[in-house]
A = this chain, B = another copy of it.
Amino acid sequence: MVSKQPSQIKRLIDLLARLPGLGPKSATRLTLYFLSRDESEVRDLAQALVAVKEGIKFCSTCHNYAERDPCPICSSLERDFCQICVVETPADLFIVESSGLYRGLYHVLGGALSPLSGIGPDDLHIEDLIDRIDLAASFNKPIKEIVLATGSSAEAESTCVYLCERLKDKDLIVTRLARGLPSGVDLEYVDGKTLKQALEFRRLA
């Protein structure tokens, strides 16, 4: 079939196979699925794809994807204006937000410091964060806590260290997500680094 495939089918399989989590097999399965569905259904998806690129901008305050600026979270009156949760990417924001456990504001850095990849402080939305904090203070709505919700990669660690340094003069507390055992695992399956962190972060039972 490879050689005899209609060009449109080849092209769609090729494009789908490049998507994260998909390969040639799943791309082929999806393509055959689309061929078997109503044209309107496939058009809807095509339009949704274009719409997501046309309609979505960035919030100039938190730098998350948003339909309008400021985004619904930054402009919401139900959120706790005293907390800013700092995340690396909009994807991380999605994860924290969908947990439903956090009611404060966010700030998307747009990545993590990585000297190797040539990503320095100026490449991230760090100055914006400082400005946000100062602006909030000047409006007498001071930020009381910055929650560093970054990953546990080396880059994320150094980003945290850098942020703590930049924020140390501010009149607020800086917290970090706890490191420790993920839920529902036996100790025997926990790697040494995680166990070390779990011990460091141990607290009174």
Contacts and interface: CB of A to CB of B under 8 A. Distances in A.
Contacts of A19: 30, 33
Contacts of A71: 4
Number of copies of this protein chain within its complex: 2
A86 B60 CA distance: 59
Contacts of A21: 26, 29-30
Given A44-B15, A94-B28, A35 B6 contact: no
Main DSSP-derived SS at the A contact region: helix
A19 B37 CA distance: 11
Interface string A27-40: 01111111100010
A31 B52 contact: yes
A145 B8 CA distance: 32
A25 B172 CA distance: 35
Nearest to A2: B98
A77 interface: no
27 contacts: A1-B93, A1-B98, A2-B97, A6-B66, A8-B52, A8-B67, A11-B52, A12-B48, A12-B49, A15-B44, A15-B45, A21-B29, A29-B91, A32-B89, A34-B49, A34-B53, A35-B52, A39-B53, A39-B54, A42-B49, A42-B53, A43-B50, A45-B46, A46-B46, A46-B47, A46-B49, A49-B49
